[in-house]
Structure 1
Amino acid sequence: MSTTTSHTAESEEHPQGAAAAGGTGGTATRPARLIHNEATTEIPVHLLFRDDPDPVSVPLKPAVVARRQGTGEQPRLTRPAPARSRTVPQLDPGLVERPARVLPGLAGVLAGAGGIAGCLATSWWAGVLPPLAVDALRLPAYGGAGLGPAQWAAYAGAGALGVLGFGGLARGRTGQARLLGLFGRYRGTVRRTGLLWMNPLLARRRVDVRLRHWRSEAMPATDTNGVAVRVVVLVVWRVRDTARAVLGIDDHETYLRECVEAALARVAVDLPRGARGGPAAAAEALTRLVAADAGPIGLEVFSVQPLRVEYTPEVAAAMHRRQIAALDARERSSMLNSVVDSVEDTVTRLTMRGLVELDDYERKVWVRDLTVAFCAGRREPA
C-alpha cells in the first residue's frame, strides 16, 4: 500500500515523465527540459547545445531580444543608418589647367618684319617695285626678271611669314587669361602679361580671373522656425582653374548661382538679432557648402554673406504682430519686476526702521495699494 502511494505521488510530481513512461510500454524516458520566460516561447535546452560537425567561425555581435512593452525592459538595439555622402560632381580628370606654349612678342614682330622685307625684295627681283620705292630704299637699279613661278613662290612664303608673325601677336593683361584650343581640343591657358606671340591657328577665349563679387536677387529661404524668408547674398569668388570653369560646364556663373540657391535650401537664415545676428551665424555654413560644390569645377569661393533678410509678404504682417506682442510682453515683465522690487524695498525699509508696525493683513493691504500706485504711475506718459 505504501509502495502504491509513493508511485502515485511521484507521478503527480512529474506528470510529463509518467506520461512518457506509459506511452512506451513501461520504459522510462528522460523528460525534455524547457526554458520558460514571460517574453519568449518554450525552447528545448538540447537545441541550444547542438553539436556542429564542422563549425564555422562567425563573428559574434551583441544583441538584445525585443522585450514586451510596459515591462520596463530595454528595447531592441538597432544598427545606425550609414551616413550618406554628398554627391560631388566629377569632371574629366584630364581637364586641368596647364600653361600654353607662347613666345615673346619680339619674335612675332621680327617674323612680320621679315615677311614684309621678303615681299619688297621679291618685288624688286621681279621688277615691279615702283621707282620711288627703289629710290627711297636706295636699292640698285635692276631691270627685273618678271613675275614667274619663282617670284610667286617667294611672294607666298614672305606673305605667310608676315601673316604668321603679325597675326599671332597678342597683349596679355593683368587679371585676364586666354584659353587656347585647336579644333575643339584644349591646348593650354596663357596667364602671362605683355606682348606675346601665339599660334594664330589657335582659338582664343578670354577668361576673367580677378577677384569678383556677385550680388544675388532676393532668394527664398527659411529661418530656424520654418518661416519663409527672402535673402539677398553677396558671393566673393574667382576662377581658379580656367579649363574646368570654361570647358567643364556650360556657364560657370549660372552654376554658381544654382549652388547658392541649393545652399539656402539647406541652411536656415534668421533675421538679425543684436550684435550676433542670424545672418552671421549662417554665413559660415553657406560658405562651406557653396565652396564644396563649386570647387570641383574650378571656382574658388571665399565668402557667402547674407546682406538682407526679410520675411515674405505673405507672413510679414503676422510676424510683425508677433514681434510687437513679444516686445510688449517683455516690457510688461520688466515693469512688473521693477514694481515688485520697489514695493518690497518700501515695505522693508518702513518696517525695519520702526516707522510702522504691520501685521499680516496690514502688510498685504500695503503691498496691494503700493503695487497699484506704482503701476499707475509707470503707465502715465512722460
Structure 2
Amino acid sequence: MKSEKIIKPANGYLMFFIVLILFISGITLTIKTENPAYILISVLAFILALGFILVNPNSSKVLLFFGKYVGTVKQNGLYWANPLYKKKTISLRASNFDSERLKVNDKLGNPVMISTILVWRVTETYKAAFDVDNYENFVRVQTDAAVRKLASMYPYDNFADEGHEEDITLRSSVNEVSEALEKELEERLAIAGIEVLEARIGYLAYAQEIASAMLKRQQATAIVAARHKIVQGAVDMVDMALEELSKKEIVELDEERKAAMVSNLLVILCGDKEASPVVNAGTLNH
C-alpha cells in the first residue's frame, strides 16, 4: 500500500517571470517581424502557465501524472510543475460534522434519538484521495454507523428497580461515552487518512413514542428514592427522640405509649402536608 509523499516543486515566482517574458516576446516578435511563426513562443508560454500550483494555508495539492501518483504539496505558496500534472485540492483544515438525529435501540432495547458532533481533519492525503471514493461522504456514513453501534452498547439510563444497573450509560457517563465514540471513529476513519479531533454526543432523548412513559417512570423512580430517604431519616429521628427521652428521664413511656409516639412522629415526618395538631383534653388512653 502506498503512502503520502511530500514534494516541493519549482519556485513559481521565478517561473512566472519566465512565462511572462516568453509571452510578451512572442507577441512582440510577431508584430515586428510580421512572422506568425513567433506566435508559437506565446503558445508555449500559455502551456507553461498551466503548470502553476497555488497552495493556500491549511490546504494541499495532490499531483497525478497520467494516473500515477507523483506526490503532495502541503507547504503554502506559488509553485510550478509539469503542466501535464493533474491537480486535486484536499483541505487540511479542521471540519465540523453534526450528524442527523438517528432512531436506534439502546442496550435495553429502548428506542432513543441520538446524534453526534464530530471534529475531524485530513492527515494522509493519499488515503483520502485514493483509498476511498469520497472522503467527506465516507466520514458521514461511518459516523452514523459508529453512533448506531455505540447506542446499542450502553443503556440510556440506569434502571436499578429492574436489576439493570450499569456503570456506563449514555445519559450520565458523558466522558466515557465520548472516549468510546472517538476510539470507534478513529478505527473506522483511519482507512481514509482522517484524524478525529473530537467526538461527542450532540443530542440524546427517548424516541417520541416512549418519551412520555419513560418520563413518568423517571418521576416515579425519583419519588420512590425521595420517599426512601424521608422514611430512613424519620426512623433515625424517632430512634433519637426515644433515646434522648429515656436518657434524660423526661418521661417514662410504656410499649403502648412508645408505639403511639412512634406512629405520630412518622406521620408528621413522612407526610406530604403539615400535620394539624389535635388537643387531647382527656388522658392518653381516652
Question: Which residue does 1:236 correspond to in 2?
Answer: 119
Distance of 2:60 and 2:72 partners within structure 1: 7
1:346 aligns with 2:226: no
Deviation string 1:73-99 (CA, Å, 9 cap, x unpaired) is xxxxxxxxxxxxxxxxxxxx13x2213
Q: Is 1:300 the equivalent of 2:207? A: no
The 1:340/1:101 distance shift into structure 2, 3 A limit, reads closer
Q: For residue 107 of structure 1, what is the aligned residue in structure 2?
A: 14
Contact kept, 8 Å, 1:180 with 1:205, in 2: the verdict is: yes
Q: Structure 2: which amino acid aligns with 1:331?
A: A
Alignment partners' CA distance in 2, 1:104 and 1:119: 23
Match of 2:164 in 1: none
Q: How many residues align?
A: 262
Residue 269 (structure 2) pairs with residue 374 (structure 1): yes
TM-score by length of 2: 0.82
Shift of 1:235: 1.0
> 1:127-276, aligned counterparts within 5 Å?
128=34, 147=35, 152=37, 154-156=38-40, 158-267=41-150, 268-269=153-154
Report how far residue 323 of structure 1 moved: 0.2
The whole-number CA distance in structure 1 between the counterparts of 2:183 and 2:269 is 54
- Structure with larger Rg: 1
Q: Which amino acid aligns with 1:332?
A: R
Q: Offset of 1:121 from its aligned partner?
A: 5.3
Q: Once the 2 structures are TM-superposed, how far is the Cα of residue 220 of structure 1 from its aligned partner?
A: 3.2
Contact 2:115 2:147 in 1 (8 A): no
Which of 314, 317, 325 lines up with 2:220 in the alignment?
325
Which residue identity lines up with residue 220 of structure 1 in the other structure?
Answer: K
Superimposed CA distance per residue, residues 318-371 of structure 1 (whole angstroms, 9 cap, x where no aligned partner):
111110100110111111122212222222222221121122233222212222
Misfit runs of 4+, over 4 Å: 269-274
**Aligned-partner residue type, residue 177 of structure 1:** S
Q: Which residue of 1 aligns with 2:204?
A: 309
C-alpha displacement at 1:234, in angstroms?
Answer: 1.1
Q: Deviations over 1:238-283 (max 9, x none)?
A: 1111121122211112222222222223323555899x92332211
**Structure 1 residues 213, 104: closer, same or farther in 2, change over 3 A?**
same
- Residue 192 of structure 1 and its aligned partner are, at CA, apart by 2.1
Alpha-carbon distance in 2 for matches of 1:319, 1:343: 36
Q: Is the 8 A contact 2:60 2:74 kept in 1?
A: yes
Superposition map of 1:15-34 within 5 A: none
In structure 2, how many angstroms separate the alpha carbons of the residues matched to 1:172 and 1:263?
Answer: 34
Q: Select the residue among 179, 184, 195 that pairs with 1:284.
A: 179
Could you tell me which residue of structure 2 aligns to residue 118 of structure 1?
Answer: 25
Contact 2:98 2:116 in 1 (8 A): yes
- The structure, 1 or 2, with the larger RCO (C-alpha pairs under 8 Å, 6+ apart) is 2
| Structure 1 vs Structure 2 CA RMSD | 2.5
Alignment deviations for residues 49-70 of structure 1 (CA, whole Å, 9 cap, x no partner) = xxxxxxxxxxxxxxxxxxxxxx
Gaps of 5+ in 2: 159-168, 276-286
What TM-score does the superposition give when structure 1 sets the normalisation length? 0.62
Q: Is the 8 A contact 1:115 1:160 kept in 2?
A: no
Q: Give, as a single letter, the amino acid of the residue that structure 2 aligns with 1:173.
A: N
Q: 1:170 to 1:180 in 2, by over 3 A?
A: same
| C-alpha contact (below 8 Å) 2:24/2:42 kept by paired residues | no
Counterpart secondary structure, 2:251: coil
**By how many angstroms is 1:224 displaced?**
4.2
Q: Secondary structure at the match of 1:99?
A: coil
Contact 2:131 2:191 in 1 (8 A): no
Q: Distance in 1 between matches of 2:31 and 2:202?
A: 72
Q: Which has the higher strand share?
A: 2
